[in-house]
Amino acid sequence: MRSNEPEFLGHPKGLAFLFATEMWERFSYYGMRALLVLYMVNYLLKPERANEVLGLSALKGGLEAVSGPLEAQPFSSHIYGLYTSLVYATPILGGLVADRWLGRRRTVALGAALMVAGHFVMASEQLFLLALTLLILGNGAFKPNIVTQVGGLYAPHDLRRDRAFSVFYVGINIGAFFSPLVAGTLGETVGWAWGFGSAGVGMTIGLATYFYGLRYLPPDEARGVEAEAPSATRPSLGASLVGLALLFVPAALLTCAYEQQGNTIVLWAERFTDRTVSLFGWSAEIPVTWFQAFNPLMVFLFTPPLVAWWGKLARRGREPFTIDKLAIGCFGIGAGYAIMAAAALSSLGAKASWLWLVAYFAIITWFELYFYPVALSLISRIAPEDSRSLLMGLWLAASFAGNLFAGWFGGLWSSFSSVAFFALAAGVAGSAGAFILAARPVLMRLLVR
């Protein structure tokens, strides 16, 4: 970063605009996601409407050829899994397009425009699958390149880089916090089209914010940093790729468990949770979609104390290595699902208190901060400049596999008891942590300099 560039809270001013753009994009994504399963199960997949959706019968036939007959709930979980998985597969293409042809700025703008169109098309029941396709392609162009631009604001060894990704991650979760409250409430109480339309408005604001802040972002030609020569502090491209390949399996397993919060956890909240809050003679029922706001709310509540805790440990020389943080995150998220298994076990034959969900979200949020932002910072540090967007896209592809698995896994909800399902989810997340610990010696040699 040039010394005369304007700053925002000790960081390049461009971080503020990337923060705000991503915040609005996540508002649109999580607002739509909060409604998606409920919309399909309770409305779109009813026989009288499903036959009107273009391409839906063909999609169902293809899925049933693999998994057998699908009722509305497992079919909706498969669609949810396909959507959320493809959202993380297309960033490979988006990274390649940006690195080789369009540049990061144009590719981000293209992706945002496609997502604006997709959210508004969601208002049409018949064009449901087209809307999802536009959102998938748009996210693929947008996601790897805006994340990469965060790293591009800093010189290779700028110590602010890790903190910048923590700040950026908070922006993601501010958008994710407000979206269920706005889009979810509109969708549940006013109409599905109103909820999906509000997501489109949010993405439009994000696109306008990005265009306004372009002057503060690194140009595509130089990425805003000096040329990065090979260094003893940076792994080779080959070592980076091997290390990413080893992390691919645990990242996919963890994502499979983590993403149940937008799928089967929604169904648990709707059908098996006592959502009544009583206070001084007043009582009200928490809307189902509002539970989707718990996780992002806790992210920006928990991030400052966790970062301060890591700083305190660092001053004592005891801060965990990056690889160790990733393993801790996996085991912690597994503990969150163990809490849900306990909730299901303790409430057999009755609805569980909504406080169980508060405990679940608190645990998985604290420990996701050990994994997802830490992994983004790791990729930003080890990736060569001329292939950074592509490498980020390859990393996000782990979420493709995880979300695809999550859709299949969510389809088991109707076949398993709640206790067994949540216990299995805990085992999936825990196995990701065990894999990282087993591969730790190799990962430390490949990725840590």
Query: Mind listing the pLDDT tens digit for each residue in 46-102?
Result: 888 888 889 988 988 898 888 788 888 888 888 888 887 888 788 888 888 888 888
Whole-Å CA distances, 185 to 188, 289, 300, 374: 5, 7, 22, 32
Whole-Å CA distances, 401 to 77, 350, 397: 15, 35, 7
Tokens of 34: 């909060």
Find the mean pLDDT for residues 148-174. Answer: 76
The terminus-to-terminus CA distance of the chain in angstroms comes to 23
pLDDT band at 290, cuts 50/70/90? confident
* CA–CA dist 83, 144 (Å, integer): 17
pLDDT per position as a tens digit, 212-266: 999 888 777 544 444 444 455 566 777 778 888 888 899 999 999 998 987 889 8
* CA–CA dist 157, 166 (Å, integer): 17
- pTM for this entry: 0.73
* CA–CA dist 17, 210 (Å, integer): 6
State the CATH class of domain 7-224+233-447: mainly alpha
